[in-house]
């Protein structure tokens, strides 16, 4: 059980998979906790899947986060164009901005992130940029997602992730 994009050890003691939304405050907090844990534990990996709370690309979602679909698409395009490293550069940029950006802000950031702006924009607007997101959404629904983030450790759902210190305790 993993995602398309992984950071951390390939043969990890703890494999974390998170269904996330770049505009979700709880997802942002869990992301910070996971980043800190991965920095201190080389035997852990993180994979990300998307569950944007926006009906533009998620037929199951209310319109809670209006830019979440574009953020997820930007992450997927970054991965398609720049591989795993490209995905994680964009992933970090998106979380740093809480998933909010304008077209002009994204275009201005693309060169520093290692992407050609015109090529990136063409890919972002192509229907193919939705394929991975749609697959992630349907997988999350089949797993019983009730809210984001949905966190798995070694294939087992980590319930109670919102309790103080739960991420580190679950991974330990």
Phi, psi at residue 154, to the nearest 5°? Answer: 50, 40
Contact criterion met (CB below 8 Å) for 50 and 72: yes
Q: Which 3-state string (H, E, C) describes the chain? A: CCCCEEEECCCCCEEEEEEECCCCHHHHHHHHHHHHHHHHCCCEEEEEEECCCCCCCCCCCCCCCCCHHHHHHHHHHHHHHHHHHHHHHHHHHHHHCCCCCCHHHHHHHHHHHCCCHHHHHHHHHCHHHHHHHHHHHHHHHHHCCCCCCEEEECCEECCCCCCCCHHHHHHC
The predicted model scores a pTM of: 0.95
Average pLDDT over residues 109-135: 97
CA distance 142 to 126: 26
* Confidence at residue 2, expressed as pLDDT on a 0 to 100 scale: 86
pLDDT digits (tens, 9 = 90+) for 64-120: 999 999 999 999 999 999 999 999 999 999 999 999 999 999 999 999 999 999 999
């Amino acid at each position: 059980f993993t995602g398309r994009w992984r950071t951390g050890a390939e043969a990890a003691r703890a494999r974390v998979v998170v269904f996330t939304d770049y505009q979700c405050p709880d997802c942002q907090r869990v992301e910070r906790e996971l980043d800190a844990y991965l920095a201190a534990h080389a035997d852990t990996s993180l994979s990300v899947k998307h569950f944007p709370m926006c009906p533009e690309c998620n037929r199951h979602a209310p319109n809670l986060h209006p830019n979440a679909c574009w953020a997820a698409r930007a992450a997927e395009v970054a991965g398609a164009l720049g591989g795993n490293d490209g995905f994680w550069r964009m992933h970090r940029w998106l979380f740093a901005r809480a998933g909010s950006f304008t077209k002009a802000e994204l275009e201005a950031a693309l060169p520093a992130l290692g992407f050609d702006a015109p090529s990136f924009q063409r890919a972002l607007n192509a229907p193919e940029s939705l394929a991975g997101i749609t697959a992630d959404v349907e997988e999350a629904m089949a797993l019983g997602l009730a809210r984001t983030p949905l966190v798995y450790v070694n294939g087992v759902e980590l319930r109670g992730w919102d309790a103080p210190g739960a991420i580190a305790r679950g991974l330990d």
